[in-house]
Structures are given as C-alpha cells and as structure tokens.
Amino acid sequence: MTLHHRPASTSQVQAVIFDWAGTLVDFGSLAPTQIFVDAFKSFDIHITLDQARGPMGLSKWQHIRTLLDEPDIAAQWQAATGSAASDADVDAIYARFMPMQIAKVGEYSHAIEGAADTLAALRAQGLKIGSCSGYPRQVLDVLLPLAAAEGIAPDHVVAGDELAAGGRPGPFMALANVLALKVGDVAACIKVDDTVPGIHEGVRAGMWSIGVSLSGNEVGLTAAQAAAMPAAELARLKAHAEDRLRAAGAHYVIDSVAQLPEVVAAIGLRLAAGERPA
C-alpha cells in the first residue's frame, strides 16, 4: 500500500496545527521581517533583516522586546535616547509597527505553492486543521480572508496576542487549538512551523513537530530568489535551516507544506505502531 492510500494509519493522526507566515502563506516570511526593520528605522534605530528574523515566531511585542535586548540594538537605543529600552519603549515601537504591518500584510498574503492542496488532502482524510501565529489578531483579521480566497482556511486560528498565558515558545497556542478542535490526545497532533520558537511550541505541547525550511524564515528567500540561486548555495542554506529546526526538536524537516502529506502518513504509521513523540 502506498503512502497516498492509508486510511487505517492516517486515522491515527487527528489534527495538524500550522503556523502562518513562511508555512502556509508568505514564502520566505517577508511581511513581518521587513516591517520590523521599517518600524525600528522610524525611531532612527537601524537593524538588519537577519537581526529582524532572529526572534521570529514570538508574539510581535515579545519579538520587539527581544530585539531591544540584543547588545548592538540596545547600544543604539542607549546612544539615541540616553537610557536603556523600557517596556514603555517596546509599547511605542509596537504601536508604530502595528499599522505598518496591517497596511502591508496583504502584499505578502499569497499562499505557498501546494498549501491549499495539502489542506484539502488532510481534510479528505478526516483530519482537523488548526493554526496559530505570532501575528496579533488585528493583523490576522486582514490576512485570513485573503488567504481563504486562495484555499487556506483552517478550522481554528489563534493569534499571538490573545492568550493570557502568552505565546511561543510556550505550548499555549498549540494547546488552545487542541481544546477548540476537541482533540483527545496531543500525541495525535502535528505542529508545522518554520521557526525555532514554533518548533519549541509543538514539542512542549507534546506534539509531533515538523519544521519547514525552504519556504520559511530560516532560509528567508522569496520563491523567485530560491529558484534563481545556485543549487549548492541553496542546499547550504537549507542544511543550516534544517540543523536549527532539528536542534529545536523537530521530528521531521520538509522544504514546504507541499511535502507534508507523506510525513503525516509516516507519523500515522508510527502512531499505529504505538510510538509517541519523544
């Protein structure tokens, strides 16, 4: 029997919980990255795209706090303002970031190739589809209808700012999906994410965790840039991304969600054999 026709084994998996940017939409996770650079620049603080990518996966407020705690950025803030960055300063940058992100997220909302087909295939097997994001609800309110028009419409969505317990790297958003979807066993859930905090989230929730390398934040290229890059260089970037995601606890790493159905099949077989995520 091929991996494409496994009703007995696939039924062991109950739900798949996806990240958004870099996983389902926005190849390269560009929308949040560039806006962080622009928001900091509006305060005369200069950060690189690589610096902006570093804490990706956290809630956006915590992302800003983490950036301001980096020595180079902290030194810039101290020189510009005469004091260390406070939580009130994080609030000010966040307030600048939010309208910029809301205005721009639609430009980066395109579904990643194969994502809609993957969701359809999982639903055809009876799986529930959850999702969560570092994006706040106001940003998701713009993104969700645009994604739905391209066939990306999970059964449940949790935003990065709406749980009192907090967001990643804690398990809370993933577990909120378990509750909403009424899944009876966290070991029957799969978390799919392109960031290190997102993999930590899945592992801490007791789920199988799958990292996404090529389409995600760790490689950080547009689809066109990836296609134009020499094969050896692209392979090097993917290998580095895979190493980071596996070090975070990923049980599997794939290029994009287009490859996910085969991994879901493999996990179904492992569950049927009595395995649980380590």
pLDDT tens figures, 259-270: 999 999 999 999
| Residue 247: count of CB within 10 angstroms of its CB | 11
∠ Cα 201 270 276 (to 5°)? 45
For residue range 80-115, what is the model confidence (pLDDT) as tens digits?
Answer: 999 999 999 999 999 999 999 999 899 888 999 999
In this prediction, residue 47 carries a pLDDT of: 95
d(C-alpha 19, C-alpha 25), whole Å: 9
Q: Is pLDDT of 7 > 70?
A: no
- Provide the whole-model pTM: 0.89
The SS3 call for residue 261 is helix
∠ Cα 58 245 73 (to 5°)? 45
For residue range 41-60, what is the model confidence (pLDDT) as tens digits?
Answer: 999 999 999 999 889 888 89
The SS3 call for residue 237 is helix
What's the pLDDT band for 32 if we cut at 50, 70, 90? confident
Q: Is pLDDT of 247 > 70?
A: yes
Average pLDDT score over the chain: 93
In this prediction, residue 11 carries a pLDDT of: 57
- Domains of the chain with bracketed CATH: 7-29+110-272 (3.40.50.1000), 31-107 (1.10.150.240)
Q: Is pLDDT of 2 > 90?
A: no
Q: Is pLDDT of 257 > 70?
A: yes
Question: Which residues are identified as catalytic?
Answer: 19, 60
In this prediction, residue 4 carries a pLDDT of: 43
What's the pLDDT band for 5 if we cut at 50, 70, 90? very low
Q: Is pLDDT of 190 > 90?
A: yes
In this prediction, residue 278 carries a pLDDT of: 81
In this prediction, residue 121 carries a pLDDT of: 97
